[in-house]
Amino acid sequence: MGNFSVITVSREVESLGDEVALRLSRVLGYELINREQWMALLEGHSPALSPEPPEEEGERERWMAEVGRLLEELAEKRAFVLLGRGGQRLLARCAKAFHLLVVAPVPVRLRRIMERYRQDEVTASRILAEQDRQREKFLLRFFGVDWRNPLHYHFVLNTAFYDVEESCQLVLEAMKRTRPPSLGQQESFFTREGFLEKPVVFSHPSEEEFARILDFYGIRWLYEPRTFPLEWDSEGNVVEAFAPDFYLPDFDLFIELTTQKQKLTWRKNRKVRKLKELYPEVKIKVVYARDYEHILRKFDLEDDHE
């Protein structure tokens, strides 16, 4: 419709997102790509291409690039509705893609689960919490995105107030009224605001995980942006320096992340103390192993960390 031949539908559990996606595909005559069609699409493109992002970072980046190209090429040939699968991330730079987020308040979604599966409130609450957690964990871990952030979408639909047919009409009207983004806008759709987009090579998996958590909360960051000289020889040459892992510009704060055991961190502590002595205006915080483990437990990512 209009400038958009693709609709990506991201949805909360029991928000009617699946029903809205199906109805849109039928009204517009677009192909619906759900989980089954997704697997067939990737297998038809390359039998070796996994339907899920790989665990290893380098392989995952290659997977995202290849799948993104596949979807953009498909968008040139035919119109489709992509249900879930990280479509808002994979097609973030595709000017033909309209990104839709379907939500509903927890009490509404809870009632729908109770009615659909004939469950009591306690059981339904457990089901809803678990499915929300799994979806949040998947997109944070593999795509590094807070998928509930409305800034990632052209339109956010709350189905607490509309049925499926009314919801579809609202989406169609929004698609008609949405101006196509400029190249610059489309390119910056998923970049961290205020930063040049460039590949970041982390020294340790824990740093990558920490960066994703910062992204999840919308906290801007830079990785090792500044190196502080700490010691010089008699000729003025730097013989010791320290580059904290992260800088958070909104807090004017450096973060040094260490997952080493407490007794092995004395060298890092010594550098931090020296940095504070030489640069008293610099704010820095060390995240120790126990703090990091607490963060992983909070996000239920502890089993993924090595």
* pLDDT tens digits for range 210-256: 888 887 777 878 888 888 899 988 878 888 999 999 888 778 889 99
Q: What is the pTM of this model?
A: 0.63
pLDDT recorded at residue 89 = 86
pLDDT recorded at residue 226 = 86
Q: How confident is the model at residue 194 (pLDDT cuts 50, 70, 90)?
A: very low
Asked whether the predicted pLDDT for residue 188 surpasses 50, the reply is: no
pLDDT recorded at residue 199 = 61
Asked whether the predicted pLDDT for residue 195 surpasses 50, the reply is: no
What strands lie across the sheet with 246-248, from one edge to the other? 222-223, 246-248, 253-257, 284-287
Q: What angle do CA 117, 122, 126 make, to 5 degrees?
A: 75
Q: What angle do CA 37, 28, 52 make, to 5 degrees?
A: 25
Q: How confident is the model at residue 1 (pLDDT cuts 50, 70, 90)?
A: low
CA 256 to CA 267: how far, in whole Å? 13
Contact 111, 156 (CB under 8 A): no
Cα-Cα-Cα-Cα torsion 157, 160, 166, 171, nearest 10 degrees, comes to 0
Query: Among candidates 246, 216, 74, 83, which has minimal Cα distance to 152?
Result: 216
Percent with pLDDT over 70 in the chain: 84
Across the chain, mean pLDDT equals 82
Asked whether the predicted pLDDT for residue 106 surpasses 60, the reply is: yes
Q: How confident is the model at residue 126 (pLDDT cuts 50, 70, 90)?
A: confident
Question: Structural domains in the chain?
Answer: 6-187 (3.40.50.300), 205-304 (3.40.960)
CA 202 to CA 222: how far, in whole Å? 11
> Half-sphere exposure of 146 toward its Cβ, with a 13 Å CA cutoff?
16
pLDDT recorded at residue 187 = 46
Query: Among candidates 159, 163, 157, 38, which has minimal Cα distance to 99?
Result: 157
* pLDDT tens digits for range 143-184: 766 777 787 889 999 999 999 999 999 999 999 888 765 544
Least confident of 27-31, 50-54, 236-240: 50-54
How far apart, in Å, are the Cα atoms of 66 and each of 49, 166, 259?
A: 9, 36, 33
Least confident of 32-41, 45-54, 181-190: 181-190
CA 138 to CA 145: how far, in whole Å? 10
CA 199 to CA 64: how far, in whole Å? 14
